[in-house]
Structure 1
Amino acid sequence: MPLIAVLAGDGIGPEVTAEARRVLEALGLDLSFEEAPVGGAGYLATGRPLPPETLALAKRSDAVLFGAVGDPRFEALERRLRPEAALLGLRRELGLFANIRPASIFPGLEDASPLRPEIVRNLDIVIVRELTGDVYFGEKGRRETHEGLRQGYDWMSYDEREVERIAIVGFEMAKRRKRKLCSVDKANVLETSQLWRDVVNGLAGDYPEVELTHMYVDNAAMQLVRNPTQFDVIVTGNLFGDILSDQASMCAGSIGMLPSASLNAWTGTVGMYEPIHGSAPDIAGQGKANPCAAVLSAAMLLRHSLSDEASAQRVEKAVAGALAAGFRTADLGGSHTTSEMGDAILKALA
């Protein structure tokens, strides 16, 4: 019986994760669930954002269903004790180097995008973000300059193996879709990006069916607004991917619609599945959160960790069915609550 670790976290995390779990349970699959605190909830329970018991559960599970972490009450703590440290710790300890973030427009949501409907119609892209390197995990600190000024520093670095494994995920994803891969970097300025580009180019010969292009990150940001449907799969580093995937979410109408999967391999993977929207503490407990991204993350869990494509498609079609029936949370311009949207997805699933 596959074990799903449920780490709901902070803010709206418990609300949206509860709806995703309801959908998974409604499928009638032989799954077991076990909950544990993480983030601010973990700190309140144990004094650590990633309690040892939570990490142990994640390591022995078949997949992790994750909510969100972040709480302004803990911003004064040292960085290693803040809720966000739990997320970085899970990525590091589970080896989750590949973040898959699809951004597509559901029929009927074209008007929810800040871009004109004709620009986002048929939007269907995937951003493959490297997740365990770059400035997020590089050496960082504070020091004093010769002039006595305070200075902060963060090292951006990648070795060729780190680039190669995320590039393979990008190529494999593109091979199964429209066979177009755009590698995003800043090779005209950064030596790290030049190595990135060299390694990606070196792999291109192994994927002759995939059309490889390169784009600087500033141009990629502009093109996501100008003509997002030109892209199929984008592969990029941790920092650039963090920014571009949030931008892509607004092309799709709302950050509340975008799921993600964090994987430790292309096939046969353990994964962590989470909506990209964050904890949104300002609306926590009010029933305003959109659960669609969490539910769609559960669909990715079925697809990537449990190899159940049929059930994944059932869930995705149920979300589309609820939206087609007119259900909208506040972020989509509607007034339905979190649980009402969940009920609508369950009805469409049935």
Structure 2
Amino acid sequence: MRTYRIATIPGDGIGKEVVPAGRRVLEALAAQHRDFRFEFENFAWGGDYYREHGVMMPADGLDALHGMDAILFGSAGDPQIADHITLWGLRLKICQGFDQYANVRPTRILPGIDAPLKRCTPADLDWVIVRENSEGEYAGVGGRAHQGHPIEVATDVSIMTRAGVERILRFAFRLAQSRPRKLLTVVTKSNAQRHAMVMWDEIAAQIALEFPDVSWDKELVDAATARMVNRPASLDTLVATNLHADILSDLAAALAGSLGIAPTANLDPERRYPSMFEPIHGSAFDIMGKGLANPVGTFWSVVMMLEHLGETEAARKVMTAIEAVTANRALHTRDLGGEATTEEVTAAVCARVGG
């Protein structure tokens, strides 16, 4: 029997509700399979840990996670703690510490969900956004001087390396190659950012030569937002920098119906370290503890985790259960215009997975 060691990090806010829900789905799945099982270890890191210890996670936290097969993450963010502390102290510390350089965010309109785009069918909006996840605008290079004075200055420097750009573009071309349409859009801003983004464009053209069967085009990031709204069927796989893809993927999730349904995989494609899977929504403290959180984004993240672990049939089973539940509008949470609770959606998915 295959045993997978899964680290669960609920983090903050509704992460404490949706990650346990994701674990329940995995447990329901394992109960129906004799060839694999899961061993879970929970790590109570986040805002509460910060208030007690002054850090979001312990200094040796990466060592505790290193032997895991995958990480299921909830959210980072606390209204009492500055956002840059919660993000850099937990999520980015894990992503960068484990060189999870490929952030993959699939987006499509699930059955039963009323997406906001007019004249858009589910077949028109079926995208995967690949986000460079290790450098770029979130490299962490910069600083502040003369704080509080009229001459105060602050800098954040975007860092792009040839190695980093090559590997994320090659990953995106491979992913596009694996999809039926074999279509990739490289998002850029080289009209205004005339150094790093020009290098990005040049490397894209070079990597494209390795994938003659992939059709690709280039789109400025501002034009890409309009294209996502006006011509969704013209897109399939997109690749963008850390900041650009962060923004575009939230737009994509909203166009598909809700941020509450959208998943993310933070991948180390070389599998040197564990990869991390999470919903893209935030900690949503305004609905914390009310049973209103949509767990579908976490469940879809579980699907991506299972695919990464090689359990493709199990992944399909969970995805089929998700689609059956979203097709039932009585099981839509508030973000989708319904009144269902986190518990009701979780129980329905578990019942289908375990049936």
Q: Determine the C-alpha separation between the residues in 2 that align with 1:141 and 1:269.
A: 30
1:231-242 → structure 2 map (5 Å cutoff): 231-242=235-246
Paired position in structure 2 for 1:249: 253
Q: Determine the C-alpha separation between the residues in 1 that align with 2:182 and 2:343.
A: 38
Q: Determine the C-alpha separation between the residues in 2 that align with 1:40 and 1:290.
A: 21
1:144–1:43 CA distance, 2 compared to 1 (3 A):
closer
Q: Determine the C-alpha separation between the residues in 1 that align with 2:48 and 2:278.
A: 17
1:159 aligns with 2:161: yes
1:318 aligns with 2:325: no
1:75-154 → structure 2 map (5 Å cutoff): 75=82, 79=84, 81-82=85-86, 84-109=88-113, 111=114, 113-116=115-118, 118-122=119-123, 123-143=125-145, 148-154=150-156
Letter of the structure 2 residue corresponding to residue 180 of structure 1: L
Instruction: For residue 137 of structure 2, give the secondary structure of its aligned residue in structure 1.
Output: helix
**Deviation per residue, 1:28-48 (Å, 9 max, x gap):** 231100001222133134321
Instruction: For residue 251 of structure 2, give the secondary structure of its aligned residue in structure 1.
Output: helix
Q: Determine the C-alpha separation between the residues in 2 that align with 1:58 and 1:45.
A: 21
Paired position in structure 2 for 1:40: 47
Runs of 4+ in 1 over 3 A off after TM superposition: 81-84, 266-269
Q: State the 1:156 CA deviation.
A: 1.0
1:160-239 → structure 2 map (5 Å cutoff): 160-177=162-179, 178-190=181-193, 191-239=195-243
Of 70, 73, 78 in structure 2, the residue corresponding to residue 71 of structure 1 is 78
Q: Determine the C-alpha separation between the residues in 2 that align with 1:133 and 1:159.
A: 8
Q: State the 1:84 CA deviation.
A: 4.6
Where structure 1 has 5 or more consecutive residues not aligned to the other structure, the ranges are none
Paired position in structure 1 for 2:27: 25
**Deviation per residue, 1:169-192 (Å, 9 max, x gap):** 101110110200100010111111
Paired position in structure 1 for 2:5: 3
Deviates further, 285-294 or 38-47: 38-47
Where structure 2 has 5 or more consecutive residues not aligned to the other structure, the ranges are 31-35
1:333 aligns with 2:340: no
Deviates further, 240-249 or 149-158: 149-158
1:83–1:205 CA distance, 2 compared to 1 (3 A):
closer
1:57–1:229 CA distance, 2 compared to 1 (3 A):
farther
Instruction: For residue 272 of structure 1, give the secondary structure of its aligned residue in structure 2.
Output: strand
Give the TM-score normalised by structure 2. 0.92
Give the TM-score normalised by structure 1. 0.93
Q: Is the 8 A contact 2:112 2:328 kept in 1?
A: no
Letter of the structure 2 residue corresponding to residue 26 of structure 1: A
1:51–1:120 CA distance, 2 compared to 1 (3 A):
farther
Letter of the structure 1 residue corresponding to residue 144 of structure 2: R
Q: Determine the C-alpha separation between the residues in 2 that align with 1:107 and 1:43.
A: 40
Aligned length in residues: 342
Paired position in structure 2 for 1:309: 312
Q: State the 1:268 CA deviation.
A: 7.8
Q: Determine the C-alpha separation between the residues in 1 that align with 2:249 and 2:206.
A: 25
